[in-house]
């Protein structure tokens, strides 16, 4: 299908000013975001690096707020220059915040306290406390102690903005136990809580005796996702802990040093995102025809890395007698000299998938952030990142409306934060039309 005509931004703004959308309050917001999406994806729009900062402690980002010093200092990223919102009192090493999630109050519910209607930071501390902290003042609103028999370290949403999963650090088998042939029976723990107020749903033990030789596990939308060292992923019903979900085992056809990863799509569509070094698969979970009790996983669309079709290379060797010998070898799918996918995220308000692709030649690595249509996977825009990208460092990239933020961890615990903001260049005219049509 050919390209469709883009909506006229000026006409939409005029219609909004005349009150054409007044019958439904949500239409105005959706129209505004639709206008912003057009501006973000058009050819003349650039993303400019507006400020860069460095820190000796981890840097985190949540919805327009940048957190420094283990979430103790909060800075607004909305303005063109950083603006401090609050700074919590200094604390001991055992009380520092290890991980956090931003919670925003549900719509249409009556809440017990006025402070519950404002955004909160759900924070996990080093000494196993779960805090709910005001996102605007840093005041502790609620807290609960988790357990003493394990070390909890990671937070994630099971049901977004309603139920959280708190994951422990993995239990490591000692060298003495390995020599004796003793395996650690429990790999990790998953504690599941309702957010407001904090209430425990249950604690699940991920045991090798029950699940086999697992390497990791996570919880999302009531589905327990268990990962194995062989590259397999199994999906379980969390409530019944019984295997469902035909085609419930997914395998990424790739040869790489780093493992692939899989998770439920954040748009709550029920789809699944499966990411490998050279492809991003978006999968659908559907009922089997004529059998509503059984489900199957099918492919919705695939995003492929920009690579040469033939990845086999010939190596020429000359023997002592002068004979030329050709030797064929295959490159790994995550070879740094090929374009490789590193991060996949979803911008919910603009309904765009953001994919970070990296290519490293010699010591210099370059990355670009691609925006894809969330419905069909069509590439809409690509943004080059100015700073070099070293694949041996830890990286996080966030795309939030008109903001792109890159957090990098260098050796010796040096953290860098690069902030890009959208700039529309009126001197350039858009010459091509990109659409969200399925190819």
Strand partners, 191: 166, 203
Nearest to 278 by CA among 240, 330, 224, 335: 335
Same domain, 45 and 95: no
Quick one: tokens of 424? 């529309």
Contact indicator for 391, 358 with CB cutoff of 8 Å: yes
Same domain, 109 and 210: yes
Residues of the chain above pLDDT 90, percent: 31
The string of pLDDT tens digits covering residues 374-426 is 999 999 999 999 999 988 899 999 999 899 999 999 988 899 999 999 987 65
In a domain, 421, yes or no: yes
Residue at a domain's end among 220, 239, 266: 220
Torsion angles phi and psi, residue 39, rounded to 5: -65, -40
Cβ-based burial of 73 (10 A; exposed 0-12, middle 13-18, buried ≥19): middle
- Is the pLDDT assigned to residue 241 strictly greater than 60? no
For residue 258, what pLDDT is reported?
62
- Is the pLDDT assigned to residue 278 strictly greater than 90? no
Same domain, 12 and 129: no
- Is the pLDDT assigned to residue 147 strictly greater than 90? no
The string of pLDDT tens digits covering residues 26-48 is 677 788 888 899 999 988 899 99
Most confident of 15-19, 215-219, 367-371: 367-371
- Domain membership of residue 216 as a residue range: 91-220
Q: Picking from 257-266, 280-289, 342-351, which range would have the lowest pLDDT averaged per residue?
A: 257-266
Q: What is the pTM of this model?
A: 0.73
Residue at a domain's end among 220, 240, 260: 220
For residue 439, what pLDDT is reported?
44
CA 2 to chain centre: 32
Residue at a domain's end among 220, 255, 283: 220
Same domain, 360 and 421: yes
In a domain, 130, yes or no: yes
> How many C-beta atoms lie closer than 10 Å to residue 330's C-beta?
10
Same domain, 112 and 193: yes
Same domain, 200 and 113: yes
For residue 332, what pLDDT is reported?
54
In a domain, 100, yes or no: yes
- Is the pLDDT assigned to residue 190 strictly greater than 80? yes
Same domain, 124 and 10: no
| Residue 51: C-alpha distances to residues 54, 361, 397 (Å) | 11, 27, 15
Whether omega before 433 lies within 30 degrees of 0, making that bond cis, reads no
Number of domains in the chain: 2
Mean pLDDT of the chain: 80
């Amino acid at each position: 299908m050919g390209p469709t005509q883009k909506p006229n931004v000026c006409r939409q703004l005029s219609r909004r000013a005349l009150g054409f959308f007044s019958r439904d309050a949500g239409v105005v917001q959706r129209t505004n975001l639709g206008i912003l999406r057009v501006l973000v994806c058009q050819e003349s729009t650039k993303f400019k690096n507006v400020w860069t900062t460095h820190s000796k402690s981890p840097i985190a980002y949540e919805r327009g707020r940048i957190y420094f010093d283990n979430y103790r200092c909060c800075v607004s990223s909305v303005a063109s220059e950083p603006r401090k919102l609050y700074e919590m009192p200094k604390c001991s090493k055992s009380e520092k915040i290890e991980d956090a999630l931003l919670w925003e109050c549900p719509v249409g519910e009556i809440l017990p306290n006025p402070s519950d209607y404002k955004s909160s930071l759900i924070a996990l501390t080093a000494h196993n406390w779960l805090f709910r902290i005001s996102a605007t003042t840093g005041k502790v609103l609620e807290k609960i102690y988790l357990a003493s028999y394990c070390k909890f370290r990671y937070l994630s949403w099971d049901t977004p903005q309603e139920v959280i999963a708190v994951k422990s650090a993995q239990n490591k088998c000692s060298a003495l136990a390995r020599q004796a042939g003793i395996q650690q029976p429990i790999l990790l723990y998953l504690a599941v809580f309702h957010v407001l107020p904090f209430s425990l749903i249950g604690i699940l033990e991920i045991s090798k005796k029950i699940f086999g030789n697992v390497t990791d596990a996570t919880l999302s939308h009531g589905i327990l996702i268990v990962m194995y060292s062989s590259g397999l992923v199994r999906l379980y019903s969390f409530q019944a802990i019984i295997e469902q979900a035909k085609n419930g085992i997914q395998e990424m056809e790739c040869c790489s040093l780093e493992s692939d990863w899989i998770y439920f799509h954040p748009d709550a569509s029920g789809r699944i995102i499966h990411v490998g070094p050279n492809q991003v698969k978006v999968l659908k979970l559907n009922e089997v025809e004529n059998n509503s009790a059984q489900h199957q996983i099918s492919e919705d669309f695939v995003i492929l890395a920009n690579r040469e079709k033939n990845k086999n290379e010939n190596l020429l060797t000359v023997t002592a007698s002068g004979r030329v010998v050709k030797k064929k070898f295959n490159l790994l799918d995550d070879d740094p000299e090929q374009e490789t996918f590193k991060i996949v995220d979803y911008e919910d308000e603009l309904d765009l998938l953001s994919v970070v692709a990296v290519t490293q030649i010699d010591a210099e690595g370059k990355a670009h952030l691609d925006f894809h249509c969330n419905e069909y996977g069509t590439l809409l825009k690509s943004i080059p990142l100015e700073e070099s990208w070293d694949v041996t460092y830890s990286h996080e990239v966030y795309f939030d409306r008109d903001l792109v933020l890159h957090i990098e961890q260098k050796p010796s615990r040096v953290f860098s934060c690069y902030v890009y903001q959208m700039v529309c260049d009126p001197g350039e005219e858009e010459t091509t039309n990109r659409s969200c049509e399925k190819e």
